[in-house]
Amino acid sequence: MDNRIDIILKTKGLVSGYGHTTILHGIDIGVPQAALTTVIGPNGAGKSTLFKALFGMLNIHAGSVTLYDEDITYLSPMQKLQHGIAYVPQGRNIFPELTVEHNLEFGGVSLRDLKETRRRMEKVMDQFPILRKRAKAQASTLSGGEQKMLEIGRALLLDPKLLLIDEPSIGLSPILMAEVFNLLLSLRDSGVTILMIEQNAKKALSISDYGIVLQQGRRALDGTASDVLHHPEIAHLFLGGMAKVEGAA
């Protein structure tokens, strides 16, 4: 990655996995500030594992994670939240039986201040008018895209500097996908740094600033989204072949 760019989060030689199984074999990435960076890679490449490791949910076997210049490698998810990192996992993560409003409220639990939580909820509902409109509705009655927005809104309640978002467009129609991407772009424009995983590599890279390709738990490529999108091996990689892309950082 270009060293003139401000990097908010950096990993060096990050090794992690589940139990004794190593999935990430020494990952070096830099996440540029106030930009949208998309992580792509085949199924099982370790993309979600990388996010879980970044958010403090897995044991780190070696290497480091730094936020600005602070070592945050071994912080817990709660401590990561307090450092301004929010995480929206893959799949549906709302409480379907609760109202939209109550779902949002959960985002502020760690603030331990209901008044402040409510104030921030108002701000989030200004950003996401659909959540205000449906505030009293049961969350399960929202469309897939609206549910994703609820998850993102809930993550924003803590005013994160960095948003980790894993496959926000999964299961969404092209129209809803465009809505979610537009929302992420406006968040980026407001200064939030976003690291996103996307299966829909072409579409995601075409709206992103930077791209990172993971393959078998290793960084295969990174650079501007346009460089990654036009890299000769990328199409091959996503057609299921084994790419030979060596650290074209």
Ligand X SMILES: Nc1ncnc2c1ncn2[C@@H]1O[C@H](COP(=O)(O)OP(=O)(O)OP(=O)(O)O)[C@@H](O)[C@H]1O
Residues that bind Mg ion (CB under 5 A): 47-48, 90
**Residue with Cβ nearer Mg ion (90 or 143):** 90
Considering only residues 145 through 164, tell me which ones interact with ligand X, judged by CB under 6 A: none
23 binds ligand X (CB under 6 A): yes
49 binds ligand X (CB under 6 A): yes
Number of residues that bind ligand X (CB under 6 A): 12
Q: HSE on the CB side for 53, CA within 13 Å?
A: 31
Q: In whole angstroms, how large is the CA radius of gyration of the chain?
A: 18
| Least distance from ligand X to the Cβ atom of residue 218, Å | 12
Bridge-based pairing state of the strands 85-88 and 210-215 = unpaired
If contact means CB under 5 to 8 A according to the sort of partner, which of ligand X, Mg ion, none does residue 138 touch? none
Taking the C-alpha atoms of residue 72 and residue 83, their distance in angstroms, rounded to an integer, is: 9
Q: In the numeric block, which tokens belong to residue 183?
A: 């929302």
3 binds ligand X (CB under 6 A): no
11 binds ligand X (CB under 6 A): no
- Of residues 93, 7, 89, the one with CA closest to residue 49: 89
211 binds ligand X (CB under 6 A): no
If contact means CB under 5 to 8 A according to the sort of partner, which of ligand X, Mg ion, none does residue 49 touch? ligand X
43 binds ligand X (CB under 6 A): yes
Q: Please state the three-class secondary structure of 113-159 as a single string.
A: CHHHHHHHHHHHHHHCHHHHHCCCCEHHHCCHHHHHHHHHHHHHCCC
Please give the residue ranges that form the binding site for ligand X (CB under 6 A).
18, 21, 23, 41, 43-49, 90
